């Protein structure tokens, strides 16, 4: 297996895992919001920031996957030899930053509201 093929495969696997984790964390934290958040909970901005971070991660990962599929299709059909890697890196970076923000802020919210 060529190194570039292996790297692309690992990157896709990482993005898929991040997408599943972000989606799960967002869905669970919204679903059980009433159980997690008491009426006296403080720092609700941290929970909302976590939701925004997870949403950014999900959108960037989905859009990057769609873009990669379009690039692959264009290469197969010989429409383009060039791969616009800079904006894919931007999407992957956005997904990673959004996911990290979501995790950190969700943990911060939990720690601030431990009873």
Report residue 63: phi and psi, to 5°: -65, -40
What's the domain count of the chain?
1
- 22, 52 Cβ separation under 8 angstroms: no
Give the C-alpha distances (Å, rounded to integers) separating 80 from 4, 10, 64, 83, 87. 18, 24, 18, 8, 16
Domain range holding 54? Answer: 3-35+43-112
How buried is 36 (Cβ within 10 angstroms: 0-12 exposed, 13-18 middle, 19+ buried)? middle
Q: What is the pLDDT along the chain (115 residues), one digit of tens a residue?
A: 566 667 677 778 888 889 999 999 999 988 887 776 766 677 888 889 999 999 999 999 888 888 777 766 666 556 555 555 777 788 888 999 999 999 999 999 888 887 6
Residue 50 CB neighbours (<10 A): 24
Give residue 81's pLDDT: 55
């Amino acid at each position: 297996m060529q190194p570039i093929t292996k790297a692309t495969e690992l990157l896709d696997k990482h993005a898929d895992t991040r997408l599943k984790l972000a989606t799960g964390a967002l869905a669970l934290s919204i679903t059980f919001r009433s159980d997690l958040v008491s009426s006296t909970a403080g720092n609700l901005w941290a929970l909302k920031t976590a939701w925004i971070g997870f949403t950014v991660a999900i959108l960037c990962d989905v859009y990057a996957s769609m873009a990669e599929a379009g690039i692959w299709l264009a290469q197969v059909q010989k429409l383009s030899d060039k791969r616009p890697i800079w904006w894919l890196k931007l999407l992957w970076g956005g997904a990673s930053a959004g996911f990290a923000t979501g995790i950190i802020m969700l943990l911060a919210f939990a720690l601030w509201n431990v009873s």
